[in-house]
Amino acid sequence: MILALKFFHIAAIAIWAGGLISLPGLYVQRAYVQDDDALYRLQMMVRFSYVVIISPAAFIAVATGILLIFGQQTFAGWFSLKLLFVAVLVVLHVLTGLVIIRLFREGEIYPIWRFILATVLTSGVIIAILTVVLAKPVLSEPAAEDLLAPGGLGRFVQSISPWEIPLVRSHDQR
Q: How far apart are CA 149 and CA 152, in angstroms?
A: 5
Q: Where are the domains of the chain?
A: 2-139, 140-174
pLDDT at res. 2: 86
Give yes or no for a contact between 14 and 37, defined as CB atoms under 8 angstroms apart: no
pLDDT at res. 92: 95
Opening angle at CA 89, ends 84 and 68, nearest 5? 65
| CB within 8 Å of 130: residues ≥ 6 apart | none
> Residue 13: helix, strand or coil by DSSP?
helix
pLDDT at res. 33: 86
Burial degree of 46 (CB within 10 A; 0-12, 13-18, 19+) = buried
> Which of 136, 92, 139 shows the shortest CA–CA distance to 117?
92
List per-residue pLDDT tens for the chain, 174 residues long: 889 999 999 999 999 999 999 999 999 998 888 888 998 999 999 999 999 999 999 999 999 998 988 877 666 777 888 888 999 999 999 999 999 989 888 888 899 999 999 999 999 999 999 999 998 887 766 656 666 677 777 777 777 778 877 766 655 554
The three state secondary structure string of 129-168 is: HHHHHHHCCCCCCHHHHHHHCCCHHHHHHHHHCCCCCCCC
| Residue 150: CB atoms within 10 Å | 8
Give yes or no for a contact between 24 and 110, defined as CB atoms under 8 angstroms apart: yes
